[in-house]
Amino acid sequence: MLEIEDLHVQYGNIEALHGISLHVKSGEMVALLGANGAGKSTTLMSIMRLPPPEAPRVTRGRIAYNGIDLLPIPTHQVVARHKIGLVPEGRRVFGNLTVLENLKLATYARKDSDQIDRDYERVFSLFPRLSDRKNQRVDTLSGGEQQMLATGRAFMGGAEFILLDEPSMGLSPLLMQGLFKVLMELNRAGMTLFVVEQNAHIALKYAHRAYLMEAGRIVMASNASDLAANPQIQKAYLG
């Protein structure tokens, strides 16, 4: 589904990714692990083609999605036509709007209104807390509820493939498990997921495969259980 090959990315004159390669197959849940500053968010932003000034600049390599070169494609088409959704770091939901308004905004480019209605039902059954708070202003939601909303919003955008940037950030262990259980449920229903995480414990518990990133390079790639059993990983990332 997603194929990244020898990707080099710069901010200004500074190279942040030094030739990474990875892939995510349809139906998989894959984790990208690594410490602060490793280049995880940069990888996601490169896939989404976000506009400047945030945009990392790709100087070499290839990103293909279902065989199509994503690099010349603008973000709105990556979302609307290629059905890739991003749950960004820090969530970036609209605080002055309600839960329902935030979800509605995500559907603006969709025309399949019957499916949209079914998707609302699905989001509210996956996240009952959101259902109870449909008309609540989002800046009054808890951090965990905002994370649920950000995930629901990617789903309401009609995504078939969702990229998540540190979904566990700021969540209690209980909410974290709850969120990953929902992600697993979505994945079992056919959603492909690529999850960036610093929390290797939770990511390796739920993902099929994982990549480990250090200083702009992929240094390890394996199925999740092998990585979790790796002494080096245990020492550095699993405490």
Give the residues lining the site for Mg ion (CB under 5 A).
Answer: 41
Local structure of residue 137 (DSSP, 8 states): B
Question: 224, 229, 219: which is closest to 193 by C-alpha?
Answer: 224
Question: Would you say 37 or 95 has its CB closer to ligand ATP?
Answer: 37
What does 157 bind: Mg ion, ligand ATP, none (CB cut-off 5 to 8 Å by kind)?
none
Question: Would you say 38 or 78 has its CB closer to Mg ion?
Answer: 38
What does 152 bind: Mg ion, ligand ATP, none (CB cut-off 5 to 8 Å by kind)?
none
Question: Would you say 102 or 146 has its CB closer to ligand ATP?
Answer: 146
Q: Do 191 and 114 touch, CB atoms closer than 8 A?
A: no
Least gap, CB of 38 to ligand ATP (angstroms): 4
3-state secondary structure of 46: helix
Nearest residue to Mg ion, by Cβ distance, number only:
41
Question: Would you say 109 or 215 has its CB closer to ligand ATP?
Answer: 215
Least gap, CB of 37 to ligand ATP (angstroms): 4
Contacts with ligand ATP by CB under 6 A lie at 11, 16, 34, 36-42, 89, 198
What does 11 bind: Mg ion, ligand ATP, none (CB cut-off 5 to 8 Å by kind)?
ligand ATP
The span from the CA of 142 to the CA of 233, in Å, is 32
The span from the CA of 49 to the CA of 73, in Å, is 7
E strand intervals along 54-103: 57-65, 68-69, 84-87
Location of structure tokens 């405490």 = 239
3-state secondary structure of 219: strand
